[in-house]
Each structure stands twice: as structure tokens, then as C-alpha cells.
């Protein structure tokens, strides 16, 4: 299975898709390239598995939320969350986009990748458990997820899938979105 990272151009597309109403574009594209390069260097030889997928998603979330790649830090945080969830989604891992607590944890300055990746996994396990008719443990839910991981799908069209998220998630609160393969909408 290949490792498909989110390129800087894709991050810009996600940012624009999340904030269509704004005259807001990344002011520091070089910073996005640096984030991409850092993640690529760190994970280029990793095997694609549950741990590496969640670690890379957390890496995008934390780096984009905590780096001054754009002037508007609130919009940057929303974009960071969307990039994180879309990265997971491309491997067939649906996540709820309405988790305000998870968003706030990502946004806090003290949060690191090694703390956020397990939290992402836990929230995903909770989603699987809540959607299951049979009783499951978190371990069972993660085993099911391991079996359902597939090669990454084409990362687009991005703006179509972001419409639903944009309408239901903001820095100030969430209304309720389930990220079930929005990339293919």
C-alpha cells in the first residue's frame, strides 16, 4: 500500500473550500512546503498501517494548527482539522467532524503529535462502537478498522466534500457531521 501525503496545493484547495466567503489565501506557501517536506522526511519509509496513518494525520493537524502559515489562525485551525480528517478518510477511516473537544485538543499549544494521534484513534474507536449494533471494545473497533484500511483513493474533488463540513463546523462550535467518504461526494 502506498503512502499518499497531502501536498501543499491540496492544503490550499482545502483552505479555499472551507472558507469560500473569505478573501483568504495562505500567506506563507513556503511554510506549507516546509510542513509537507518535514512530514515526508519523517514518514517516507514507514509501513502504511493503523498507527502510521493516525500519526501522519495528527502530524498534519498539529503542524498546520500551530504554524503561522496564514494570517487568520482560526481559519488555519479549521483547515488543519479538515486536512487531518480528509487524510484519514482517504484510507477509508471515517471520522466525525463535529467533535468540538477533539478540535480544541488539536488547537491547544501543549498538544503534541504523540498525544494527539492516540486521541484520534480513541475518537475513531468510539465512532465505530456507536455505529455498531454489536457490543465492541475499543480494541475490537480498531481491529475492524485495520481490516478495512485500503489503498488511498484519489484526493479530490475536495471542495464538494467540504461543503457539508463548512456548513456544520466552525471554531466556535460544531453542529454534527459524519465524515463518511466525503472525498468521493
**Does some domain include residue 2?**
no
| Cα–Cα separations (whole angstroms), residue 26 to 15, 32, 101, 128 | 8, 9, 26, 35
Question: Rounded mean pLDDT of the chain?
Answer: 82
176: left (phi over 0), alpha (psi -120 to 50) or beta: left
Distance CA 47, CA 3 (A): 8
Per-residue model confidence (pLDDT) at position 83 = 92
Per-residue pLDDT at 182 exceeds 60: no
**Does some domain include residue 101?**
yes
**Does some domain include residue 96?**
yes
| Residue 2's pLDDT band (cuts 50, 70, 90) | confident
| Residue 158's pLDDT band (cuts 50, 70, 90) | very low
**Does some domain include residue 1?**
no
Name the more confident of 185 and 51. Answer: 51
Map residue 60 onto helix, strand or coil: helix
Q: What pTM value is reported for the model?
A: 0.85
Question: How many independent structural domains does the chain possess?
Answer: 1
**Does some domain include residue 3?**
no
Per the structure, the complete domain to which residue 109 belongs is given by 8-184
**83-142 confidence digits (pLDDT tens):** 998 899 888 888 877 777 888 889 888 899 999 999 999 999 998 999 889 999 999 999
Per-residue pLDDT at 59 exceeds 50: yes
**Does some domain include residue 84?**
yes
Amino acid at each position: 500500500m502506498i503512502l499518499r501525503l497531502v501536498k501543499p496545493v491540496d492544503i490550499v484547495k482545502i483552505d479555499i473550500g472551507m472558507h469560500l466567503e473569505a478573501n483568504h489565501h495562505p500567506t506563507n506557501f513556503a511554510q506549507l512546503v516546509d510542513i509537507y517536506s518535514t512530514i515526508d522526511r519523517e514518514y517516507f519509509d514507514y509501513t502504511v498501517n493503523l498507527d502510521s496513518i493516525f500519526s501522519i494525520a495528527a502530524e498534519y493537524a498539529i503542524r498546520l494548527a500551530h504554524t503561522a502559515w496564514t494570517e487568520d489562525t482560526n481559519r488555519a485551525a479549521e483547515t488543519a482539522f479538515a486536512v487531518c480528517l480528509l487524510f484519514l478518510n482517504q484510507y477509508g477511516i471515517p471520522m466525525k467532524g463535529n467533535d468540538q473537544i477533539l478540535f480544541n485538543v488539536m488547537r491547544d499549544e501543549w498538544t503534541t503529535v504523540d498525544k494527539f494521534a492516540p486521541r484520534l484513534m480513541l475518537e475513531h474507536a468510539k465512532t465505530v462502537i456507536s455505529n455498531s449494533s454489536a457490543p465492541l471494545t475499543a480494541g475490537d473497533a480498531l481491529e475492524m478498522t485495520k481490516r478495512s484500511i485500503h489503498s488511498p483513493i484519489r484526493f479530490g474533488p475536495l471542495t464538494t466534500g467540504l461543503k457539508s463540513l463548512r456548513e456544520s463546523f466552525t471554531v466556535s462550535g460544531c453542529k454534527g457531521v459524519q465524515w463518511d467518504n466525503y472525498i468521493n461526494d
